[in-house]
Every structure is written in C-alpha cells, then in structure tokens.
Amino acid sequence: MDLAYLRAHPEHLPTFLTHQRIRETPVSGGDICAASRLTLDDGHSVFAKAWPERAGRPVPEHFFATEAAGLRWLREAGTVAVPEVIVALPELLALDWVEPGEPTPEAAERFGRELAGMHRAGAPAFGADWPGFIGALPQDNTPHEGPWSTWFAQRRLVPYLRMAVDDGALTGAEATLVEEIVDRIGEFGGDEPPTRVHGDLWSGNMLWGADDRVWLIDPAAHGGHRETDLAQLTLFGGPPHLDRIMDAYREAWPLADGWRERLPLHQLHLLLVHSALFGTSYRDAVAGAARMALRGAGRATVDG
C-alpha cells in the first residue's frame, strides 16, 4: 500500500492493519485515542488514531467524522498549517505525518500571524454544520446567529457546568460563580461576528514541525470568538514563545479593548470541560477563572 492507493481506497486501511500489511509504530495519541505512525510501501508516513479497546464502549457516532470535518475546514483557510486528512472512517482517522521539530521564536511569530489569518476566514454562524465534540464529550454545534455572548453562555458554559456539578466535580460555590457570569454575560463586552476557531487550542494541540511551522491538530472547530482560541493558548502553562505568538497576532489583527480582562471568561469553557472530564482537580481553576472574570467585568460579588 502506497499513499496513492490509500487515497483511492481509504476503506481498505483497517484490513491492511488487521493483517499487519503496514509497518505500525505506536506513538502518543493524547488522552483519548490509540495512535500510531504507519509507514507505507513508498516510504510515506501517516498518523493514524483509533478508538481504544480500553475505553470500554464503542466509538461515539460521528466522532472521527467531526474531527475530519474540523481539520478540513481549518485547512481550507489556507493560513495555519493543518495536516491533510487521508482517511476518515467511523472507527479511525489517518492524517499526513508531521515531522516534529523544535519550537523557535520565528515559528511562533509566523503562527501568530497565521492564526489571525485563520480567524479572519470567518464562519457563517456560531457553531458548525457538523456535530461537535471536545475531547470525548459532545458539544452542541447547532448553528446560532448570536449574539456571541448569549450563544457562549448557553452552548459553551451551561452544559459543562451542569455535567461537572452532576458528577460532583464542582460544588454549589463554584456553580454560583459561573451562574452569575451566565446571568451577566452581556456585561463583559467584546461581542464580535463568528470567526473560524480551533476551539481546543491549548499547547498540547500544537505541533512544532521540522519545517519551522506550528501545525494544528485535534480541533473542536466551529464558528466562535477568536479571543477563545487566544485564551485557551494561555492555559496549562502555555506554549513556548507565547509572547511572540500574541504580539504577532495583535500586529496582524488588533484585539478589541478589554481583551485581557476577558481571557478568564473565555478560559472557563475549557476549564469546565476539564472538570466534567477529570473531576475535582479542576475545581480551584474554575473558581479562580470565574472570580477573575467577574472582577474584569468591574463588579465582582465574591471576594477572592
């Protein structure tokens, strides 16, 4: 099997893997999927990911189709580097292999400019035309005309707050903070038309390539707010050369007044998702971001 054959017959990939007709090397695939590097007969490599047997349940419907749709949509912008989707089947996904490299200031600055270009490509509405996932959780992508603040509160905060509270990851104290933000969502400002966002843009979903570019992987792509991508970049320690990324982005496309104060608001989405997925270890982070967001709105009601 070479790359041309794989492109023409993607449905044959599972059979070749089952019968060990392709050299397969396990690699890191994140917290959810089992991943491997597949070396084809022509020497070309692809990155393959599959739903692991250890998950104890079948792959969610549309899981890999959603990721493929998001990757293709981000790639269509023609700015940020995004791996080509080679195979998208219900049980697995295969992408063109990205040879890893070292983070450099030059790659960071280029990424900042390219990310601004991807955001500028825009979106027809908030949400998307495909079902949503973030990690292993479903995400409501039903297209919504906005305004952004209403959509964000109801589609990106409330559902994951409910999951986290129902699972015992958050207490009434944290829920009260987030509920106040939902009630006051119109006070934070910064509403913009929908932009083309990655949607899960923490540093683990950035690949620093040997070609001195940053490649985006594992998206939860949809029409959203560009500040959400930027806020997620600053979570969990952030990527190398974060200041270079942000400065280059703002030079390419300046941000609206008050964007720094809104970063905790935008971070709440991913922090609530992590609470729903991983439990109580994110309780303090949710509370801290909520308090900072309320202070940023100028009228916090809870003393931190």
The architecture of the domain spanning 3-96 is 2-Layer Sandwich (3.30)
Domain 105-296: state its class. alpha beta
Q: Please give the angle made by the CA atoms of 203, 286 and 189, to the nearest 5 degrees.
A: 85
Q: Does the pLDDT of residue 255 top 90, yes or no?
A: yes
Stretch 26-33: mean pLDDT? 79
Cα–Cα dist 63/136, whole Å:
8
Cα–Cα dist 183/223, whole Å:
23
Q: Which tokens hold the place of 207?
A: 């690949």
Cα–Cα dist 155/140, whole Å:
6
Sign of the dihedral through C-alpha 251, 73, 201, 229? positive
Stretch 101-130: mean pLDDT? 98
Cα–Cα dist 116/195, whole Å:
10
pTM of the model: 0.93
79-96 pLDDT per residue, tens: 999 999 999 999 999 999
Contact 192, 257 (CB under 8 A): no
Stretch 211-219: mean pLDDT? 97
CA nearest to 153, candidates 172, 189, 178, 116: 178
Stretch 266-293: mean pLDDT? 97
Stretch 1-13: mean pLDDT? 91
128-159 pLDDT per residue, tens: 999 999 999 999 999 999 999 999 999 999 99
Domain boundaries, the chain: 3-96, 105-296
CA nearest to 94, candidates 27, 20, 140: 27
Stretch 185-199: mean pLDDT? 96
Cα–Cα dist 82/106, whole Å:
18
